[in-house]
Structure 1
Amino acid sequence: MPSSEQTLYQLPRDVRPVHYDLLLAPDLDRMTFSGTVSIEVEVYRDTLEFVLNAKDLRIHEARAFVGGADSPLEVRSDPEYERLILRGDRLFGAESRVVLYLSFSGEIGNLLAGLYKSQFLYPDGTDGVLVTTQFEATDARRAFPCWDEPSFKATFRMTARIDPRHVALSNMPAEREFSGPDGLKDVVFAVTPRMSTYLLHLTVGPLEKVGGQTENGVAVSVWTTPGHAGEGMFARDVALRLLPWFDDYFGIPYPLPKMDLVAIPDFAAGAMENWGILTYRETALLLPPGASSARTMQRVAIVVAHEMAHQWFGDLVTMSWWDDLWLNEGFASWMEVKAVDHLFPEWNMWDIFLAEDMAEGLELDGLARSHPIEVPVGNPHEINEIFDAISYVKGGSLIRMLEQFVGEETFRKGIGAYLKKFAYQNASTRDLWSVLGQASGQDIRSIMESWTRNMGYPVLISGETGQIEQKPFFNHPVEMERSRTSPDGRIWPVMLFLSSGKDRRPWLLKEEKAALPPPPPGQQWDNLNDRHTGFFRVLEDERVRKRRREGIKAGTVPVADRLGFSNDLFSLGRAGLLPLSEYLETLPVYRQEDQYIVWADIAAHLGWLQGLLAFTDGWERFDPFVVFLMQEAFRKAGWEVSPGDSHQKRLLRSLLLSGLGMHGDSDTRQRCQELFQERVRRPDSLHPDLRLAVYRTVASSGDPDLHRTFCDLARTADSQEEKNRLYSALAAFRRPDCLRSTLEFAISPAVRIQDTVSIVSQVGGNVWGEEEAWTFFRENFDLFRKRYEAGGFALQRLVKGVSEGFRSMERKEEVARFFASHPLDGAKRAIEQVQETIDLRAHVLARQGESLRKALSSPDLMKTEGSSSV
């Protein structure tokens, strides 16, 4: 049932739109726009008025047409609920069709929401501008009056009135163009399929493209600002190869005649799935030839695939309301990996998913201030808050877990049946479970609702007798103990993946405690979560943990299980279920590890421990320990990038180089200095895979003169990818004066407002910069609120970036006091999560800090014997 606040913010259901004829006329010189819209609506109950959404619009005229008669409408605004009330002088009867006509105007803003401007440079260095739209979640109402909720699907005919020199792009191909008033050009687009307002799109500006066509005749084009079309060839090729694969996987051909992928210089999110016209940050779509790293190539492929998956799961079938956002984002987060794994199997994307995605979901969902996947949302600020790792990567992880449990082909058939049943309509999570249940012959709803309606996940505790027990898991030891002594009754139907040698068997644990099924004759179960497939943690007894360490040293443990063991061991130690020092003492068995995903997991946890122990007694022993761990693995990877290197080897080299450089390895630092000086002389001399690590290493010991060099390089860099590397370096300085300069640079006109959040957050994540970032955020609070509270999820990322690294109760109270007096409606949950995270750090430091320092000082920790090949 909808919450009372949700009911307040949702529109009445007695009138529904059927079709919009929309004309938008953006003026790129004055940064204003005007427009008209005719909305054909169906009336289901007698009414005197029509209630629809509008925000920051001036309404000049409103009329209603019924048959041949028309009448004026009185216009009343309701800013609190972002509505217009149009009241007529007659009764509009049920079962009638009415056409509402409105003319309006507004400002083209720079808040990266609604209809907004984006600036760029032409190849000759002169300034250029385009206008574009971003309507998800509730910003179509900023561009035109509409029923701005996902369940009010309608068809749209868009007309753009533009400068004749410009290109206009929308969801459908242009049907015709003709001269409009005042020397402008009218571009009329074909009528869209039935869809939600948040998927409508318009971009206008001086654009160029690189295009192609699928065998089915679908035109695929990548559009860029002038001079960059060639950088879109990789994305175009990915889209051309994936579109037939998606057609085949879903069993439903892509239903539009074209697919545009548009690089937008200023863009709040990573990308957006507008139906037929997918929009992206430049770094998520463009690859500068010869200047892109393996990391950027992976990002482009993944984000292209993500938005393409939405064309079916989200656009063709749309959630009924935002509390089912995960149906869109969780599915696309799973499908992006499946699609790219099909395209580039040598990348081993499912392994990368474990390290870069599922681990993030497990981390966030271990907080007591997490939220369920299906979460009631009412006002627009609450909607923005759930665009997080729960909706995306926990959702994707659960879909992967379910697919593995029921079988890939059965799951595929169920997904296809779901899409066919609800095509061009709206659906709910319950609808998905119902169709998957029919396809699998299992009660999917009873299995999955515990996972989507409860926040959190369990830890499975296994003993020597074959008994297994589940308990809710929390990152925080106090929450973990509270759950043990005062259980909340949560029981998950846990999908275990039991392995014994080559045998693998899914098995459902339905109770709190149960006996495992018998293993194959003469064998034992080696793993309860084979290939780290399930979204839960496993606490094995000491004997099994010892055997696991021995297997890692002997090289008999598969890579995903090596990652899973590391990930669980750290998290269980932090939660107080094991000594956290055991994690440190285990890490040397990974010294010979040669797989990126395992090192990515280890590096993330070493970063957490560094933040925990920073500036405390004994912290000076931490850097040598990290260098000891990583030296041998980097020696094997080597400095030179070879054409024959695998994708993951390229990622691994960069990660280890960064670790050694940032933790003070003298040889690495010296070599990085040499490489950087050569890069300054010859910009193409340094391989893109090495640049980020080299830049950050050099910056970490830099002075104000070097800081100015990095600022100059960032200003003049010719690609956003290179700018982002240099921004990261500017956040890696350690001198307070340099970091203050970085923060000032981040809010200067030299940096796009979409990139400010990342820079400031990276300074906050730098243990030498956390105080500077927190102070700077408070000093510039009004600026940040004005920039980012209007929409998107940048605000919550910024809040976390500048405050969650603290490790004392005094700082927790300081953060709480500040946000109590400076409320942020768009980041309430993020602020609660920050306070819980600070409390967690303070608790772990107080209770386990000494044992961690003791482990670091042990002469046995860095002995090389016993660290044999994995």
Structure 2
Amino acid sequence: MTLQTDGSTETNPYRLPRGVLPTRYDIIIEPDLDGARFIGEVEISAAVQAPVDSVTMNAADLECSAATLRQGDTAVAAEVSFDPDTERMTLRPSDGSRLEPGDLQIRCAFAGVLNDQLRGFYRSTFVDDAGETHTIATTQFESTNARRAFPCFDEPDFKAVFGVTMIVPADLMAVSCGEVVSSEILADGRRRDTFADTMLMSTYLMAFIVGDLEATEPADVGGVPLRIVHVRGKSALTEFGLEAGAFALAWLVDYYGIGYPGTKVDLIAVPDFAFGAMENMGAITFRETLLLADPQKATTAELLRIVDVVAHELAHMWFGNLVTMDWWNGIWLKEAFATFMQVATTDAFRPEWKRWDEFSIERGAAFDVDALSTTRPVEYEVVSPADAEGMYDVLTYEKGAAVVRMLEQYLGADRFAAGVGHYLEQHSYANTTTTDLWDALETSSGEPVRSVMDGWIFTGGYPIVSVEPHRDGLRVAQHRFLYGGGPSAEADRSEAEIWSVPVMVRARLASGSTVERRLLLTDDSAVVDLGGPVEWTVVNSGGHGYYRVRYSADLLAAVSRQALEVLEPIERYGLVDDTYAAVVAGDASAAEFIGLVTDLGSETDLHVWQRMIGGLKGLHAIAEPDGRDALAVLIRDLATTALGVLGFEPQPGEPDLDRELRGVLFEAAGGRGRDELVRARARELFETAIDSSAAVEPNLAAAAVQVAAAAGDETDYERMLELYRSADTPQSELRYLQSLLLFEDLELFERTLELFAAEVRTQNAPYLLGAAMTHLDHGPVAWAFIRNRWSELTDRFPQNSIPRMAGGIRALHTRELAREVEAFFSEHEVPQGGLTVAQHIEKMWVNVRLREREGARIG
């Protein structure tokens, strides 16, 4: 955060005055794709609240001219001044007159550059089948980038109606939030498209796109037309996304109990896009890989991700667009809820995917950050645009969604849904704060939601619930779970935060009966009366609580022995995840985790296996050479044994998750496990998969690519590089690109780093460079590359991606390197992600201490 204020608009230099309120924008925009520029005009209808000498708006990277202010029949030219630090533009009547309360018309001409930073109004390019490059002009306005496309009141509570007109080349397609209501060819041959007015909404939800695009025939979803818009030539990849979009829109209308607030839905695949997708009202933009796919070639995980992202953005049409947070500190209100809704929608779309179990893995990423002393509350003060950018992380999305899910399970799904509907109806077309949501849920449920939830939203961190046997059942206690502090010492673990923890318990009593209890733990400890001593128990029954559990030795042994028989898969996942977290924190040994995983060798659930293998790979990375060899043998033996039970070859009609599990096990056995038979089979599958006349089950094909790369030579590298450049689906392109990171040869690895820095799209390159630092042998080489090219890379890449690129330092684990990294970032500020980088650095030191504590003992 850049500075502290009292939270009011008056004391925050980045906030606009409230003396002039916009009600309507009429925008004319003319992009010049060849010249990478645009010009335009905006007329803003506004209401002056009290006499003022000037109007202050937002504008950045724009040239503004011909500004006028009109009240009634009097129009006055306006002097224009800019404050680039706060991205504000002030219009002052040139004759020195004052603006009186009442209606005001603001006019301004503007011009700007179609930038390459993937924000504001920017350029995206693609190459068609004939090798010709085409340019698209598209927008990304969240959080504070509408001001880079047209002068505006660029804060979420300044809601207005938007009318858009685009003047574009006649052979290109233009898209905006409303449907086209008129289209005419001008004398110069260009086309003028006028779009229907939007609903009352915030500036960050506006969008306009133009390029060599085409659209599917619309699907009718309860009277709402829904299309997929894409670059010309990719219509064959739209069927699955269209199916997912139609299902999600209908399901969400039913869940919310409120009709879709717009008039049409366009899902737009953009070749260059900094985020995953963006919920522009009625004109939702996506990365191509998250919308376009061939279901016959995509893995289960890739298809699930498409449904997730489509559902997430459509969920925003109500939660975010219809009802909007008052200011950026409340980003979690829309993002956490949309994340919760995406999981619920995908679970309804394909129940067999067990989407809520999958969410446990994503929640784990939030646990990992929230166990650091540098964590933050889900909601905290946002002052500047850079602060707002820093809010887009796993705490906003995954932690926020996890505590919402925990609340839903505690209240009951029906009472929770009723509260959400009440909230949306009460605040439609308006702005809200977190307490408005709690009030609606309290009204519907009769429960003290605010007192329960405030601690989870306004306090960083989370508890670990310790469980001890008691003559009447169990004694449970809570304290904050922390990994530890900086390089010199462990963090103080005596912090006394107390949460209201919805504890769900299931237990087998010594008498032989099984009982369930629900407890709201509001003190540091409590006794759960189960009617007698227990034989075994599972705390966090159902697996939806946002807390970890640590059992006493006897209780842990009892539940571990019977885990495959008495625990649901999501509960077994929690047992494995909590145990690994205890190892990282120094509260358990690596041997304990390895013992638990070995006991679960007969596991059949995908998500439990993913966590088991993930933990073993984490220990393998920090182990000394002998320990690495021993863990490689263990990974190989566990994975090949499980593959033998599941079957090495896909079977007709088998569940999707079994197919995905086969890929996970195959990659583990042939990758870290270095199994020669699996590696030979991977090469056969790789050769077959790239022959278009043959088909390999997609999950197995994707795993084969990874294994072939891990064991590959220069010839294999050249082939995968060519496959990346000639890929026929977005998923295949990314799959082959990521495989280049797995080659063990140092020269090939260094070629890959250069490729990422120079050729790869900037939407992907920063993330891939971050991933390069996780390479088992060459992570320090990747760090040195980023360090030495820092200025070049940060100039080229989108600013929001820089903290993500830095995230790879978490995998580094030597004290000397950690000191170097820490010193580097003390001299190289990342304004839009300072707190995120601090979290990366702290987790790096946690990894250093884990290696020093366990590295020599493993194996």
Q: What band does the TM-score fall into relative to the shorter chain?
A: over 0.9
Letter in 1 for 2:574: G
Letter in 2 for 1:13: R
**Which residue number in structure 2 is paired with residue 710 of structure 1?**
720
Of the structure 1 ranges 154-163 and 465-474, higher mean CA displacement relative to structure 2 is found in 465-474
Work out whether 1:586 is the aligned partner of 2:593.
no
Work out whether 1:543 is the aligned partner of 2:554.
yes
Counterparts of 1:213-224 in structure 2, within 5 Å, are: 213-214=219-220, 216-224=222-230
**Which residue number in structure 2 is paired with residue 533 of structure 1?**
544
2-structure distance, mates of 1:4, 1:479: 39
**Which residue number in structure 1 is paired with residue 606 of structure 2?**
596
- Counting matched residue pairs gives 844
CA contact (8 A) 2:323 2:432 kept: yes
**Which residue number in structure 2 is paired with residue 467 of structure 1?**
475
Counterparts of 1:518-529 in structure 2, within 5 Å, are: 518-519=529-530, 526-529=537-540
Give the deviation of 1:848 after TM superposition: 3.0
Of the structure 1 ranges 717-726 and 213-222, higher mean CA displacement relative to structure 2 is found in 213-222
Give the deviation of 1:214 after TM superposition: 3.2
Gaps of 5+ in 1: 857-870
Of the structure 1 ranges 30-39 and 580-589, higher mean CA displacement relative to structure 2 is found in 580-589
CA contact (8 A) 2:583 2:589 kept: yes
**Which residue number in structure 1 is paired with residue 103 of structure 2?**
97
Give the deviation of 1:839 after TM superposition: 1.3
SS of corresponding position for 2:217:
strand
Shift in CA distance, 491/91, structure 1 to aligned 2, threshold 3 Å: farther
Match for residue 799 of structure 1 among 791, 801, 806: 806
Match for residue 115 of structure 1 among 113, 121, 125: 121
Match for residue 676 of structure 1 among 686, 706, 709: 686
Residue-by-residue CA offset, 1:390-426 (whole Å, 9 max, x unaligned): 0001001000000000111000000000001111111
Shift in CA distance, 42/505, structure 1 to aligned 2, threshold 3 Å: farther
SS of corresponding position for 1:462:
strand
Work out whether 1:490 is the aligned partner of 2:497.
yes
Shift in CA distance, 208/778, structure 1 to aligned 2, threshold 3 Å: same
CA contact (8 A) 2:174 2:208 kept: yes
Shift in CA distance, 504/178, structure 1 to aligned 2, threshold 3 Å: farther
Residue-by-residue CA offset, 1:643-671 (whole Å, 9 max, x unaligned): 41212112211111111111201111111
CA contact (8 A) 2:117 2:798 kept: no
2-structure distance, mates of 1:481, 1:779: 30
CA contact (8 A) 1:587 1:629 kept: no
Residue-by-residue CA offset, 1:273-315 (whole Å, 9 max, x unaligned): 1111111111100112522221211111111111110111011
Match for residue 412 of structure 1 among 409, 417, 420: 417
Counterparts of 1:371-770 in structure 2, within 5 Å, are: 371-465=376-470, 466-476=474-484, 487-500=494-507, 503-516=515-528, 518-519=529-530, 526-553=537-564, 555-613=565-623, 615-663=624-672, 664-682=674-692, 684-749=694-759, 751-770=760-779
Letter in 2 for 1:491: I
2-structure distance, mates of 1:3, 1:255: 31
Give the deviation of 1:524 after TM superposition: 6.9
Counterparts of 1:808-847 in structure 2, within 5 Å, are: 808-847=814-853
2-structure distance, mates of 1:522, 1:623: 41
Match for residue 265 of structure 1 among 240, 264, 271: 271
Of the structure 1 ranges 727-736 and 520-529, higher mean CA displacement relative to structure 2 is found in 520-529
SS of corresponding position for 1:47:
coil
CA RMSD of superposed structures (Å): 2.0
**Which residue number in structure 1 is paired with residue 259 of structure 2?**
253
Q: Using structure 2 for the length normalisation, give the TM-score.
A: 0.95
Residue-by-residue CA offset, 1:56-87 (whole Å, 9 max, x unaligned): 10112111011111001100011111111111
Give the deviation of 1:525 after TM superposition: 7.3
SS of corresponding position for 1:532:
coil
CA contact (8 A) 1:477 1:574 kept: no
**Which residue number in structure 1 is paired with residue 3 of structure 2?**
none
Give the deviation of 1:576 after TM superposition: 2.1
1-structure distance, mates of 2:505, 2:174: 55
**Which residue number in structure 2 is paired with residue 196 of structure 1?**
202
CA contact (8 A) 1:799 1:830 kept: no
Q: Using structure 1 for the length normalisation, give the TM-score.
A: 0.94
1-structure distance, mates of 2:465, 2:302: 37
1-structure distance, mates of 2:517, 2:724: 53
CA contact (8 A) 2:485 2:842 kept: no
Match for residue 786 of structure 2 among 762, 766, 777: 777
Gaps of 5+ in 2: 1-5, 509-513
CA contact (8 A) 1:214 1:244 kept: no
**Which residue number in structure 2 is paired with residue 865 of structure 1?**
none
Residue-by-residue CA offset, 1:620-679 (whole Å, 9 max, x unaligned): 222111112212112223332334121211221111111111120111111112222334
CA contact (8 A) 1:64 1:72 kept: yes
2-structure distance, mates of 1:598, 1:6: 50
Match for residue 51 of structure 2 among 43, 46, 50: 46
1-structure distance, mates of 2:488, 2:375: 14
Give the deviation of 1:241 after TM superposition: 2.0
Counterparts of 1:23-422 in structure 2, within 5 Å, are: 23-88=28-93, 89-180=95-186, 182-214=188-220, 216-288=222-294, 290-355=296-361, 357-422=362-427
2-structure distance, mates of 1:21, 1:420: 28
CA contact (8 A) 1:474 1:480 kept: no
Give the deviation of 1:685 after TM superposition: 3.7
Give the deviation of 1:181 after TM superposition: 5.4
2-structure distance, mates of 1:54, 1:505: 57
SS of corresponding position for 1:102:
strand
CA contact (8 A) 2:274 2:798 kept: no
Shift in CA distance, 475/610, structure 1 to aligned 2, threshold 3 Å: same
Give the deviation of 1:180 after TM superposition: 3.4
Letter in 2 for 1:200: M
2-structure distance, mates of 1:384, 1:651: 34
Of the structure 1 ranges 152-161 and 339-348, higher mean CA displacement relative to structure 2 is found in 339-348
Of the structure 1 ranges 681-690 and 402-411, higher mean CA displacement relative to structure 2 is found in 681-690
Give the deviation of 1:809 after TM superposition: 2.4
**Which residue number in structure 2 is paired with residue 788 of structure 1?**
797
Letter in 1 for 2:26: D
1-structure distance, mates of 2:536, 2:295: 49
**Which residue number in structure 1 is paired with residue 21 of structure 2?**
16
Letter in 1 for 2:755: F
Shift in CA distance, 87/671, structure 1 to aligned 2, threshold 3 Å: same
2-structure distance, mates of 1:570, 1:336: 28
2-structure distance, mates of 1:42, 1:600: 57
